[in-house]
Amino acid sequence: MKIPANASGVPKPWRLGTAPLLAGLILVGFAMGLSAIPAATWWSTAALSLGAGIAAMSLMAMAAVLGARWKWIETIFGGLDRVYETHKWLGVWALVFASVHLVFKAGSPEWETAAIISLPGPATRLVRQLSFVALMLIVMLALNRNIPYRVWRWWHKLSGPLFLIVVAHWLSFKSPVALLDPPGLWLAGLSGLGVAAAGYKLFLYPWLSQHAEYRLQAVSANASAVHLQLAPVGKSIPFAPGQFAFLSFKRQGLREPHPFTIASAASAGGSITFMVRSLGDYTARLVQEAAPGLVAEVYAPFGRFQRLPQGGAEIWIAGGVGVTPFIAWLHEEGDRFERVTFFHFHTPGRELPEPVDLQALAERRGVALVDVATGPRDPEFRRRFAEAAAPAGPAHVQISFCGPKGLLDEVRSLMMRDAGIPDSALRHELFEFR
């Protein structure tokens, strides 16, 4: 099979997107529901409720699978950032279809119904109500950004046990879906995979996932950021510049694993560095309390934001803490940087920690660094962007981006409207996990 290429001639690897997965699960869910009932009732609200229920349960099971952080899942989606984005929308649409399922009765006098597992009537009704409340709680926790991370993380751990309540509802409620029929096998297979994934994440992940113990060697901080250098206590973890890790420090208040992009190239001794901005309750505490000697469990590597240099012009665009993967790229020895223009968007007064001299690093690697403190609509930025893209032409420009969504939208507009660069030339990470 021929792999499509983007505008720069760089092979564009296939990856599964959110929309195709959602559409596939929803369509299969409704198809399975229709296959279990007489054709004469296909256009009834009962059929709508049944299909919506199967679709909701399918989406919930797949969300549990994506939450396990299995490496093969990350490979299919092209990065853990994409996995988390899809995971979020699976939960949202599961709640939508579960609501439809609850509003309408999934039953008809023309259907042959039976429960797979018989429970007393009151228990069956209780499980039905609890399954909807469980799903609603899961989605609300996932989308609410006002909950402190340490609270959110522990509540989110309940997703697996709450999914068991949904499975119990399917098994105990009278429906036309028999266990050994295609719809029953579909739900049993997905549910089994979802329960296994939730169990792995809840009980086995700390022991079976790739991780290692590191000790803080050097810390340099200012009012808004901290630069951390860690060395392995025993084994080290191999990684590529542009990837990220989950850090769990062995100190009260800093134990919750947080994702941070690695700010260094792989070294012979296995040391690893991170740059952390004070952007929330956890990161603010880390900036204040990080000190040499502190030990951390590092779970890595994740992400697929590696540099793919080709013959055309490269434009790097970083916003805020999104500068971190580009720092790692600049540290990578042996790469060529002659045709790289690096736009660094930052807020005045929020300087990088002292060990990160971005200007000196860029000069050493031959990168044209452009600091932008006035925002993406600054005429000077637009002029410099056009100058960087013009020599190679729109068909031979590769743009790598890491930063907030608002800045990404402005860059996309500038690319396509003013410079004529197709969206396929843009590579970016999804900046927010929650």
- Residues 59-68 pLDDT 10s: 999 999 999 9
pLDDT of residue 148: 67
Q: Which pLDDT band, with edges at 50, 70 and 90, does 143 fall under? A: low
Q: Which pLDDT band, with edges at 50, 70 and 90, does 150 fall under? A: low
- Residue 275's Cβ-side half-sphere holds a number of Cα atoms within 13 Å equal to 24
pLDDT of residue 160: 81
Each residue of 284-340: pLDDT tens digit?
Answer: 889 889 999 999 999 999 998 988 777 788 999 999 889 999 999 999 877 678 789
pLDDT of residue 260: 93
211-302 against 313-428: fold identical? no
pLDDT of residue 1: 31
pLDDT of residue 323: 94
Indicate yes or no: pTM above 0.85.
yes
Each residue of 361-390: pLDDT tens digit?
Answer: 999 999 999 999 988 999 999 999 999 998
The partner residues of 317 in beta bridges, in order of sequence, read 343, 401
Residue 10 has pLDDT above 80, yes or no: no
State residue 399 phi and psi, 5-degree precision.
-115, 125
Write the Ramachandran bin of 201: left for phi over 0, alpha for psi from -120 to 50, otherwise beta.
alpha
Assigned CATH for 211-302: 2.40.30.10
pLDDT of residue 5: 43
Residue 4 has pLDDT above 50, yes or no: no
Distances (CA, A) of 217 to 131, 269, 278: 48, 13, 20
Ordered by start, the domain boundaries in the chain are: 18-208, 211-302, 313-428
Percent of the chain whose predicted confidence (pLDDT) is above 70 = 92
Residue 433 has pLDDT above 60, yes or no: no
91-120 average pLDDT score = 89
Each residue of 187-227: pLDDT tens digit?
Answer: 999 999 999 999 999 899 989 999 999 999 999 988 788 99
Residue 434 has pLDDT above 60, yes or no: no
Max avg pLDDT among 23-32, 69-78, 95-104? 23-32
379-408 average pLDDT score = 91
Kindly report the average pLDDT of the chain as a whole number: 88
403-409 average pLDDT score = 91
Of 281 and 241, the structure prediction assigns the larger pLDDT to: 241
Q: Which pLDDT band, with edges at 50, 70 and 90, does 229 fall under? A: very high
122-148 average pLDDT score = 73
Question: Is 47 in a helix, a strand, or coil?
Answer: helix
Residue 112 has pLDDT above 60, yes or no: yes
The partner residues of 302 in beta bridges, in order of sequence, read 244
- Beta-strand pair 225-232/313-319: unpaired
Least confident of 166-180, 187-201, 347-361, 392-406: 347-361
Residue 13 has pLDDT above 90, yes or no: no
DSSP secondary structure of 349-399: T-PPPTT--HHHHHHHHT-EEEEE-S-TT-HHHHHHHHHHHTTT-GGGEEE
Q: Which pLDDT band, with edges at 50, 70 and 90, does 283 fall under? A: confident
pLDDT of residue 93: 92
The partner residues of 261 in beta bridges, in order of sequence, read 244
pLDDT of residue 142: 63
- Start-to-end CA distance of the chain, whole Å, equals 36
Topology (CATH level 3) of domain 313-428 = Rossmann fold (3.40.50)
**Which residue carries 């309750």 as its tokens?**
281
pLDDT of residue 200: 94
